[in-house]
Structure formats: structure tokens, C-alpha cells
Amino acid sequence: MDLFLPESGLVIWMLIAFVIVLVILAKAGWPMIMGAVEKRNAHISDSLLAAEEANNALAGIEQKRQETMAAAQAEQIKIMKESQDLKNQLIEEAKTQARQEAEKIVADARLKIEKEQAEAMANIKNEVIALSVDIAEKLLQRELSDKQSQNAYIEQLLKNNQPRIEA
């Protein structure tokens, strides 16, 4: 049992050594340990603040990115609408121009037809006049004794010199 019961002198010297170590630690060790812990705590707090600021900055950047994307999409829609309007305008202009060209061609064709029709009528009149003059000339050259022979001769000349009119 002597092992479990220490001598009183040993206990006193151990107690004095413990108090000296405790005083030295209280004067030198604890302030250093507490300073290191406080320094570590301040570093962690600063890191958390920096991380929060970085998250706020990232959120601001994300918001700016979304605003920029929205503006770009709005600009894209505007450009697409303008190009669609321009396309429609060009199509309408082309249709109008084609209509005007077609009307001009039709008007020119009508004028040409009317001119050719007038020329044909003039040619027919000239032929009728020439034919009438020929008939009259032949009538005057021939000696006409009676009315019946005149009529027969005129009918014969008309049958022989009848102009052909094609539609």
C-alpha cells in the first residue's frame, strides 16, 4: 500500500512545482494561447466577411449578367422585328413595282393593238376605195346598154375582186 500513499514532503514539493508551473503558464502561456485563439478567431471572422463580400459581389455580377442578357435579348428581338419589317416593306415595294410594270406593259399592248387596228381599218378602206375606183373605171370603159347587163357585170366584178378579211 505504500505505493498509493505518497510521503508528505513529496506532496508539498509537487504542489509547489505545480503552483510555479501554473503561475508561469498564467503569466506567459495563457496570454500567448489566448492571443493565438483570438487571432485565429479574428482571421476566421475576416475570412467569413470576405467570403460574404465575395458572394455579394458575385450576386451583383450575376445580376448584371442577367440584365445584360435581357438587354441583348431585347436588342435581338428589336433587330429581328426591324429586319422583318424591312423584308415586308421590300416585298410590298417589289409587288407595287411589278404591278406598275404589268400595267405599263398592258397599256403599251393596248396602244399597239389600237394602232394596228387603225392601220388595218385604213388598209381596208384603201382597198375598198381602190376596188370601187377599179369597178367604176371598168364600168365606164365598157359600153353598158342596159341596166340588167350592168348589174350582172357589177356582181361578177364583186365576186372576182372580193377582199378577204380575216379576224
- Summarize pLDDT for 102-139 with one digit per residue, the tens: 999 999 999 999 999 999 999 998 888 888 878 877 76
Taking 70 as the threshold, does the pLDDT of residue 3 lie above it?
no
How confident is the model over 18-54, as pLDDT tens digits?
A: 999 999 888 888 888 888 899 999 999 999 999 999 9
Question: What DSSP designation does 2 have?
Answer: T
Checking 159-167 for CB contacts under 8 A at 24+ apart, the result is 161/131, 161/134, 161/135, 163/124, 163/127, 163/128, 163/131, 165/124
Position 151 confidence tier, pLDDT thresholds 50, 70, 90: confident
Q: Look up the pTM and report it.
A: 0.41
Taking 70 as the threshold, does the pLDDT of residue 141 lie above it?
no
Taking 90 as the threshold, does the pLDDT of residue 64 lie above it?
yes
Which of the two residues, 61 and 130, has the higher pLDDT score? 61
In the chain, where are the structural domains located?
Answer: 8-160
Please report the beta strands in the chain, taking only residues with DSSP state E, as ranges in sequence order: none
How confident is the model over 82-95, as pLDDT tens digits?
A: 999 999 999 999 99
Cβ neighbours of residue 127 closer than 8 Å, sequence gap 6 or more: 163
Taking the CA atoms of 20, 26, 27 and 30 in sequence, report the sign of the dihedral they define.
positive
Position 153 confidence tier, pLDDT thresholds 50, 70, 90: confident
* Structure confidence at residue 167 (pLDDT): 47
What cell numbers appear for 113 in the block? Answer: 393593238
* Structure confidence at residue 78 (pLDDT): 95
* Structure confidence at residue 25 (pLDDT): 85
